[in-house]
Copies of this chain bind each other. A is one copy, B any other.
């Protein structure tokens, strides 16, 4: 490594250190912080975010990039060095486009809006949230002008979370599988009683839930020498390769939140843990996009954790933890219980098959809000109509409808789509892993997950943020993101389960 490149790496390392410290403060805020600490923590987060941002958008970064680039001329596109320059240039472009006065105003408005939204949701009072949301949409639209886009202003938003993808491409993908998804859900709805989830709705001791779920994720390959598990109301993963932490929510009368939640977050954490050591401590050490990240969590949660083969291995172990609840059930009974499909109102509780419909609805609403076809005032009505059309049910109030998600109050518009893209990518990657290693399903029945994890490490994780999700997916699967594998997977799995 030449002297100039080293200077760039050192500078970016400092930025990374500040950003990781900021993340840890956020993790602690949601895991350990007593309520009295909230105001001071907000101040600390504001200062650290500002310092991290200032350090990065400083003209020094541009100068170091230029100098380092001249030094590594001719290095291949896939090299760590060329990738660092390429990705960081794009980060720099993105972060320097928003004027700092705008960033401050946006932070102020969303910080206030968050409280307003929480109150509105608690009191089923959309009108209370409406002025805040109107202001946020106005600011978000303004941000698209700063960020720039070619076709649709929404491109600028979704591109922040899934670099390089466009609104048109997402719409094409969503429209491509929506009819088959709606048809599948509709068919299942007619025979919904063929699958019962009564088994998972019993009294389950929380310590035992934790013990079993930890046994599972450690079995998957989640490395606790670089991991940590804690309890949080809204579960999430936070960290990077050497310290990737998961949080879990427990329900004493329902197995799913902790069990599948832990698999999900461990999927995220194993992605981070698999990033190459060569990228550690720098801006490429994390997962590449929200969609690819979600592909990892969804794969472990659903394609593995909700598979028949997995429960052949895991069910006797679960039974040993909970003999009273499960003694008379078979692994097949349990497999069916964790795969019940039912249109419900709340996205975060949605099953594997209905989930993408929740996202498509949000995508339509967001593009409409940004494009100007939908007004904030009309949101509740638009939401409920679309919900009926997609899922065949209508929310009885806005708390269970348009007010359910925190994202908009945080100014996060363009984010939701990545959840659905994650489902699609999970199916594409998993198919490729199976094509490369046909024994994987058999291994899973024996509780052996290392062939799959090694494949993910080698093909996806190791690259960190070097490639965009599209570049990565083409590299791994020889094709861009699409819904074919996912919809085929759902139709087969649930067609079989429901005898369609």
Residue A280, interface by CB 8 Å: yes
Q: Is the CB of B24 within 8 A of A28?
A: yes
The residues of B that contact A228 with a CB separation of less than 8 Å are 32-34
Q: Is the CB of A224 within 8 A of B34?
A: yes
Question: How far, in angstroms, from A381 to B84 measured CA to CA in the complex?
Answer: 56
CB distance from A55 to the nearest CB of B (A): 9
The residues of B that contact A20 with a CB separation of less than 8 Å are 40, 44
CB < 8 Å: which of B21, B39, B223, B243 contacts A21?
A: B21
Across the two chains, which residue of chain B brings its CB closest to A35? Answer: B225
**27 residue pairs from A and B, CB less than 8 Å apart:** A14-B47, A17-B44, A17-B46, A17-B47, A18-B44, A18-B51, A21-B25, A21-B44, A24-B24, A24-B25, A24-B44, A28-B28, A32-B32, A32-B228, A32-B230, A32-B245, A33-B228, A34-B224, A34-B226, A34-B227, A34-B228, A36-B242, A36-B243, A37-B226, A37-B243, A39-B242, A40-B243
Across the two chains, which residue of chain B brings its CB closest to A20? Answer: B44
Residue A13, interface by CB 8 Å: yes
Residue A432, interface by CB 8 Å: no
Q: For residues 9 through 33 of chain A, which have their beta carbon under 8 Å from a beta carbon of chain B?
A: 13-14, 17-18, 20-22, 24-25, 28, 32-33
Give the oligomeric copy count.
2
Residue A48, interface by CB 8 Å: yes
Residue A240, interface by CB 8 Å: yes
Q: Is the CB of B21 within 8 A of A48?
A: yes
Residue A89, interface by CB 8 Å: no
Across the two chains, which residue of chain B brings its CB closest to A21? Answer: B44
Question: How far, in angstroms, from A21 to B17 measured CA to CA in the complex?
Answer: 12
The residues of B that contact A43 with a CB separation of less than 8 Å are 13, 17, 281
Q: Which residues of A pack against B, CB within 8 Å?
A: 13-14, 17-18, 20-22, 24-25, 28, 32-37, 39-41, 43-44, 46-48, 51, 223-228, 230, 240, 242-243, 245, 280-281
CB < 8 Å: which of B17, B25, B242 contacts A37?
A: B242
CB distance from A26 to the nearest CB of B (A): 11
Question: How far, in angstroms, from A25 to B34 measured CA to CA in the complex?
Answer: 16
Question: How far, in angstroms, from A37 to B273 measured CA to CA in the complex?
Answer: 11
The residues of B that contact A242 with a CB separation of less than 8 Å are 36-37, 39-40
CB < 8 Å: which of B18, B24, B41, B47 contacts A243?
A: B41
Q: Is the CB of B40 within 8 A of A281?
A: yes
Known contacts A13-B43, A281-B40: does B48 contact A18 (CB below 8 Å)?
A: yes
Which 7 A-B residue pairs are closest in the complex by CB-CB distance?
A37-B243, A36-B226, A17-B47, A36-B242, A17-B44, A21-B44, A36-B225
Question: How far, in angstroms, from A40 to B240 measured CA to CA in the complex?
Answer: 10
Question: How far, in angstroms, from A261 to B60 measured CA to CA in the complex?
Answer: 49
Question: How far, in angstroms, from A88 to B433 measured CA to CA in the complex?
Answer: 61
Question: How far, in angstroms, from A245 to B223 measured CA to CA in the complex?
Answer: 28
The residues of B that contact A37 with a CB separation of less than 8 Å are 226, 242-243
CB distance from A69 to the nearest CB of B (A): 25
